[in-house]
Every structure is written in C-alpha cells, then in structure tokens.
Amino acid sequence: MKNLFYLPCLFLLAITNPLFAQNKFTNCSAAFLNDKMIVTEYSTKGKSTVNEKATGELTVYTAELGPTTNKPVEKIVFKVAIRDKDSKTLVMFSDQAFKQIAIQNILKKCKKGDAIVLMTTDSQYALPHNEILVL
C-alpha cells in the first residue's frame, strides 16, 4: 500500500522538476570593483585578478555586455569564500550574504596566491568568473 502512495509523488516530481530547471543560469552576472568589471573579458579566456592592496566596493551585478562596454545593471546578493593558495581549501569568509562589501575587509584574510570566490544565492544568475586571484 505504501508503494501506491509514493508512485504519484514520484510522477509529480518527474513532471515538475524540468519546469524548475528551466530558469537556471539565465542571467549573466559579473563581479565589479568600484563599478568596473573585474574580469578582463567575459569569455572562456577571461581572468579575474585583484591587487592585495586594492580598495573599494566589491559587488556582483547582472551585466549588460557589449562589444565596447560592459555595464552593471542590477546588484545581486552573493556570498564570499576564500580558497587557500597552498591547500586549495575553500573557507567561507562569512555566513552573511552581501550586495556589496569593502574588498579590503576580504583582503585582510588573504595572502598572495589565494582566490576570492564569489557565489550567487540564486541559480538564475550565471557567474562564470567567480574566482578572483589575489596578486
């Protein structure tokens, strides 16, 4: 009798799961420092770096990407972690989610070679250049 109950539940999950998956990563986003996109180019060749003495506001925006300019559109919520250079261990910077944060607060916990890792809190946002190497 229990199996008869689970069968409709499994059927319902199978039908609705593709509907929820359709909205994944539909909006391009990028990391910005003082409203300037950090990644060198929004492609598979793009690199994200920041100097260990950098200052200013780190944000993640949906981005309007064009051949000559890349403009921030809407701030989105993100979390921050730090990947250790030597052990490759990923550690949360904070349990808090941010719309902006002073990058110098993050850099206090970094050394050269570490990476600042940004994570969106909503799967509709694609953030392909989410690791920022500290130089």
pTM given for the model: 0.80
Segment 113-131, tens digit of pLDDT: 999 999 999 999 999 999 9
CA proximity to 110, closest of 76, 127, 135, 131:
135
Confidence of residue 12 (pLDDT cuts 50, 70, 90): very low
CB atoms within 10 A of CB 60: 28
pLDDT given for residue 15 in this prediction: 46
pLDDT digits (tens, 9 = 90+) for 53-80: 999 999 999 988 777 777 889 999 999 9
pLDDT at 41 (0 to 100): 85
Please report which confidence band the pLDDT of residue 29 belongs to, taking 50, 70 and 90 as the band edges.
very high
Q: Are 100 and 57 in contact (CB under 8 A)?
A: yes
All residues at 6 or more sequence positions from 25 whose CB lies less than 8 Å from its CB, including other chains = 123, 124, 125, 126
Query: For residue 1, is pLDDT > 60?
Result: no
> How confident is the model at residue 9, as a pLDDT?
37
User: Which residue type occupies 117?
Assistant: V
Residues contacting 127, CB < 8 A, separation 6+: 29, 30, 31, 60, 78, 118, 119, 120
